[in-house]
Structure 1
Amino acid sequence: MAKSLRSRWKRKCRAVKRERYAVKELARLKKMLGIKEEEKVTESEVMESDQVIFLDAGEINKKKKNKKVIEEDPEDVEMSSDEEKIEVDGENGKKRIFSSKTLKDQNGQYPVWLHKRKIAKINKVNKKNLKKKSKKRRR
């Protein structure tokens, strides 16, 4: 599909826009990182000379394995298993304990940030599991 003259023209215009915006984006990235034009040139800049490199997750993992440097941030939270309880500082300094499986706190309430569709989905799955368990018990 998409081989009409109009679509070809649109693709060409988008390619021109991409080139134009790439320059602006690179300048913005350099400004955010605090890189000045006079400063030392790093290896990545020498290799690509004013081009931004986008890496996928596989390439990043390969680089990490090659370096074998694992830096852990003390503020990072490890992922919990299904049966663990998660403690969260709530409003007014109160601590709330959430179950990572049901996502309910000690009072049976869901967190404020949890969307209603997600709550409905969790309830639906829980009801299915209860029906399966009750059928197994009957046999």
Structure 2
Amino acid sequence: MADPIKVFLVEDSQVALQILKKLLDSAPEVQVVGIAYDGAEALAKIPGANPDVICTDLQMPGMDGFDFTQKVMSQFPRPILVISNAVQNNDIDNIYRLMQLGALDFFPKPTTGSPTDYETMKGALVTKIRVLAAKRM
């Protein structure tokens, strides 16, 4: 089996972070190698974690996802998946700005739901991470 895809999670919501971690921990092809509750903490931890993909929230205290994405791409470029309620299909301005800064894809913030919803969400998230991990920055 190939090495798992190393993912770093940046999320200020404990609930959302727990859901994301649970989704990813249940996928054998993915390994969560670090978590941070804001952009500044993440920037300090990313070099040591050396993730293949970074999943970040957009709306966070201190350093939002825009500033975080810009700093990651200038300091240690790697694929970024923005997971937020502010990157839905109708949030064109946020999506466009994030793409200009270097984010590669977007995913709605997960919520609790039925087991079927959970498996569907997990499949979609892992597929996005797998595709991003194959990108060379």
**Same fold by TM-score, threshold 0.5 exceeded?**
no
Q: Which has the higher helix share?
A: 1
**TM-score range normalised by the length of the shorter chain:** under 0.3
Computing the radius of gyration from Cα coordinates, the structure with the larger value is 1
* TM-score w.r.t. length of structure 1: 0.21
* TM-score w.r.t. length of structure 2: 0.22
